[in-house]
Amino acid sequence: MGHYSRTLRHMAKSWVFVTVLTAALMLMGTSAIAFAAGQAATKMTLAAPPSAVMGDPIRLEVSLQTEGGEPVAKAPIQFYTPATFLSGASGLIEIGDAVSDDKGIAVFEYVSRQDGENAVRARYAGDGRYAPSFSDVKFTIEGLHQFYEPEAGIHVRFVTKWLLVGLIGGIWSIYLFVGTRVLLIALAPPDRPKY
């Protein structure tokens, strides 16, 4: 009988624990929904020039406001561009970030490395007061410009080509001098022994 009553007490404690835990989780979920419902909706506008020359910075300007037109200040904005990776997979990669000013404006300068049509996405992740939002813009990059211009040769500081010509000329002069001396020694008549 004692074993049976201990089991019943244990089950009752477990039931109370599960009930309290479930109530706490439901309360947390309700609080999270109420918290999310308290966020103000935002709208974002991303603007860029319609075209640019490759290598020139492009000014991307974001305007972040609430649905009522109130600017969202000090909001971190991330900028992304689509990319295709070596494996064939594609996705968005982050190219930078900016913070909105008191008027809800954030500016980011971007230099594209790809000609043709380009796209950029600006995204605000949201916080306790404001809901997240994003905006996309497309622009064209014109011109096939290579960013790195290779130069042939070895570059050593303070060494000019004329210094190298003089140095190499001096080395070959020494070789010529030594070579002629060796040749003169080889062609000289042998010394006659004196008796």
Q: What is the mean pLDDT of residues 27-42?
A: 59
Reading the block at residue 71, the tokens are 């600017």
Whether 173 has a pLDDT exceeding 60, the answer reads yes
Contacts for 51 with CB less than 8 Å, ≥ 6 apart = 139, 140, 141, 142
Q: What is the mean pLDDT of residues 184-191?
A: 84
Residue with tokens 């000019």: 160
Residue with tokens 């060796």: 182
Q: How does strand 51-53 pair with strand 133-142?
A: parallel
Q: What is the mean pLDDT of residues 4-15?
A: 56
- The letter for the amino acid at 65 is Q
pLDDT tier at 11, thresholds 50, 70, 90:
low
pLDDT of residue 73: 92
Rounded-to-integer distance, Cα 48 and Cα 141, Å: 12
pLDDT tier at 12, thresholds 50, 70, 90:
low
Average pLDDT, the chain: 81
Whether 33 has a pLDDT exceeding 50, the answer reads no
Which of 151 and 15 is assigned the larger pLDDT?
151
pTM of the model: 0.55
